[in-house]
Amino acid sequence: MTPLAPERVVIVGTGYVGLVTGACLASIGNDVTCTDVDPKRVSALTRGSVPFYEPGLDDVIGRAVKAGRLAFAHASEPALESATVVFIAVGTPQAADGTADLSFVEAASADVAKRAPRGVVVVTRSTVPPGTGDRLAQRAREQGRADIEFVSAPEFLAEGTAVKDFLEPSRLVFGGSPEATRRVAALFSGIPESAPRILTDRRTAELSKYAANTFLAARVSLINEFANLADALGADVATVSRVVGLDPRVGPLFLRPGIGYGGSCFPKDVKAVLAVARAQGVDMRVAQAADRTNAEQWRAVLRKSLRLLDDAPRGKKVAVLGIAFKPGTDDTRMAPGTALMGALLDEGATVVAHDPKATLDAALAQRGAQQAKTALEAIHGADLVVLVTEWPEYRALPWHDARAAMRAPRLVDGRNHLDLPALRSLGFTAEGVGKP
Ligand code: UGA
């Protein structure tokens, strides 16, 4: 394949967003250098080692490197000096007041303004509050770089399916001046035309990203509220969810109830948009409720767990299946299971967790939580199993053997992932979320 656009692309930040963006842009024909300030990370990537688990990403990287379209470099190396388009994909951690901490984005932008050639386009790929692009442009002007165009091109990649989400997106959004957005959109010309390209202004692009995540988060919180109500009424939320989702105006996805949403995006982005709204004097009560409901949802699973332990958890062993915030990733950021495990430890229970990919939070390990190598090892001698992450392998466990290995066959399915009637017929006392 010949390069589709004669641009020299530099990605600043080889975290999750930066690395997927860089590797996939290279795989569709662009010339890309991914840079990072962490020398260890850069040398690991150069050796072909991907620093986190994302299905298919190592293949995409391997092929793009082999084709000579993807390289890695330390941020101080001269890559920016010849860049024509720079993607900023650095972290935007949450500050104490819920706002997004933009110091890494600002530093990256200032560095580009110092080093990149005239006419460079800077693309913010990190999720940033509306108005950030305008502010970065203003700062660049103050650095004497009125020539730099800033474009917002938010990502809609979900962990575990990021490569597919990049290569077969539901839409592409570019916000900025008509000329700059066209240049950035051209880098994505290897993406099927069936994906709508939305060229808009910067603030609208920035706001769209927050809106997309807040809508999805609110759906999850709303179905979780119905799950809690179904629990109280003895109704089945799975059927409720199916009935609601079959309405084409609603659609079936993101209506799975459970222990609540986690990850590095929904919790942080909902809080960030609330902070933006507060600063603008706008009341966003639905988004606020989505956030509050989610902050409490894991307690519904805790209450069920304690009840099954006869409200006497002290000294009992609880096997927790799943540590990652969702299956298909080793990411544990804001994983709802972390709060649950902490509370079980507080109650004096022994916690042994398992996850096919993720590692137990160091703070939990310090407090005595353990991680077993296999799910059956975690379950061995347990008084209760709590499923927190819906990994497919948990469905395929030999539940008959698991039952025999437990001290008492009790189970809470925090994701409605398992076949509860089948478990009950094996002798389990088993509860889901919003299941009669
Ligand atoms: C999310 C969005 O889905 C992406 O489109 C977006 O690009 C990304 O955030 C981001 O901003 O970077 P991600 O956080 O990887 O992606 O994970 P999701 O698959 O969206 O799941 C988020 C949380 O919601 C998980 O904890 C998941 O278990 C939970 N969830 C999801 C439910 O509890 N029920 C559902 O029906 C769906």
Q: What is the DSSP letter of 323?
A: -
Report CA(254)–ligand 1 centroid distance (Å): 8
Which residue among 60, 116, 151, 265 is the active-site one? Answer: 265
Output the CA 92–ligand 1 centroid distance in Å.
17
255 lines ligand 1 (CB under 6 A): yes
pLDDT at position 153 is 98
Looking at the DSSP assignment, which residues form a beta bridge with residue 12? 35, 88
Residue type, 330: D
State the pLDDT at residue 182.
Answer: 97
Mean pLDDT by 10 residues, the chain (436 residues): 71 96 98 97 95 94 97 96 98 88 96 97 94 97 97 96 97 98 98 97 98 98 98 98 98 98 96 96 98 98 98 98 96 97 98 97 97 98 98 98 97 98 98 94
C-beta 155 within 6 A of ligand 1: yes
In the block, which residue shows the tokens 């539901």? Answer: 170
CA of 161 to the centre of ligand 1 (A): 11
**For residue 98, what pLDDT is reported?**
83
Q: Whose CA is nearest to atom 6 of ligand 1?
A: 156
Q: Which atom of ligand 1 is nearest to the CA of 17?
A: 12
Closest CA to 306 of 349, 274, 266: 349
pLDDT of residue 3: 45
Rounded to the nearest angstrom, the distance between the alpha carbon of 201 and the centre of ligand 1 is 26
* 207 membership: H or E segment, kind and range: helix 202-233
Give strand ranges (E) for 249-372.
317-321, 350-354, 370-371
256 lines ligand 1 (CB under 6 A): yes
Give pLDDT, residue 4: 47
Active site residue 34: no
Spacing, Cα 258 to ligand 1 middle (Å): 13
- Please tell me the distance from the alpha carbon of residue 413 to that of residue 431, in angstroms, as a whole number: 6
Any ligand 1 atom below 6 A from CB of 254: yes
Q: State residue 94's pLDDT score.
A: 86
> Which atom, in ligand 1's list, is nearest to the CA of 390?
28
265 lines ligand 1 (CB under 6 A): yes
Task: Return the pLDDT at 9.
Answer: 98
What's the predicted TM-score (pTM) here? 0.94
Q: What are phi and psi of 429, to 5 degrees?
A: -90, 110
Ligand 1 atom at minimum distance from 157 CA = 7
Ligand 1 pocket member 433 (CB < 6 A): no
For the purposes of burial, counting CB atoms within 10 Å of the CB of 225, is it exposed (0-12), middle (13-18) or buried (19 or more)?
middle
**Which residues touch 368 (CB under 8 Å, ≥6 apart)?**
345, 350, 351
Of 293, 123, 273, which Cα lies nearest the Cα of 210? 273
